[in-house]
Structure 1
């Protein structure tokens, strides 16, 4: 796997670990800074989902497999686009700063996953 993707995976693992800890242990803080408000059960579900994603990201980062790397990248691109769009809609409707940041963050990650995938294709001499 190319270095760019490895760095992206590590950065996302670190960010998701931080978000998981905040969602689990400081849900009031997270809720106050979101246009969605405090919803303890939902915030725990987000944290549990993050834990599942961290496991997948660690696995693909530790043991390289071209097929699974593509599946994970596709999932990250689709998920990031959907989550980013959800944040963007919430930002437009409620002018919530944190949702604007969430939209921008997710769209930048999608761009990064796409570029990393293209770099990997180029190193494998696969034409797009």
Structure 2
């Protein structure tokens, strides 16, 4: 029963990632000036287009995993997404701290949405998978 619950939680997490990557891909591809206005990174249409294309590849992978219902593929994408969320979130945090202003909304959103929601939630899922795999019962740990 716990395994089915973990897959369900992982699917919700990947749906969140699907929405987040889709949104990021759209604004990176079609509205790159948002990056200039709301980050300290400025505008770089070529790099932003490349980031959008990476997001599209992740989106396709997530859709394939969700449609196939392949447990191992879902776990791998959760691992990939967690690593990506932590690294991107930390990058936003560093950029914001180096030149703090509330004008840089993309960095603030990156810290909360990417690092705290995507990173923390995904880490929780991976921790639960680890506990489940090792056969450890958290209820008995006091």
- Shorter-normalised TM range: 0.7 to 0.9
Q: Does 1:18 align with 2:26?
A: no
Q: Cα offset for 1:120?
A: 4.9
CA contact 2:35–2:41 (8 Å) conserved in 1 = no
For residues 51 and 40 of structure 1, do their structure 2 counterparts lie closer, same or farther at Cα, with a shift above 3 Å needed?
A: same
Aligned residues: 126
Question: Once structures 1 and 2 are overlaid, which stretch shifts more, 29-38 or 51-60?
Answer: 29-38
Matching of residues 84-103 of structure 1 within 5 Å: 84-95=89-100, 96-103=104-111
Gaps of 5+ in 2: 137-142
Superposed CA RMSD in Å reads 2.1
Q: Distance in 2 between matches of 1:70 and 1:4?
A: 11
Q: Distance in 2 between matches of 1:11 and 1:67?
A: 19
Matching of residues 1-128 of structure 1 within 5 Å: 2-95=7-100, 96-108=104-116, 109-120=118-129, 125-127=132-134
Q: Bigger radius of gyration, 1 or 2?
A: 2
Q: Distance in 2 between matches of 1:85 and 1:35?
A: 15
Q: TM-score, normalised by structure 2?
A: 0.76
For residues 69 and 10 of structure 1, do their structure 2 counterparts lie closer, same or farther at Cα, with a shift above 3 Å needed?
A: closer
Gaps of 5+ in 1: none
Q: TM-score, normalised by structure 1?
A: 0.83
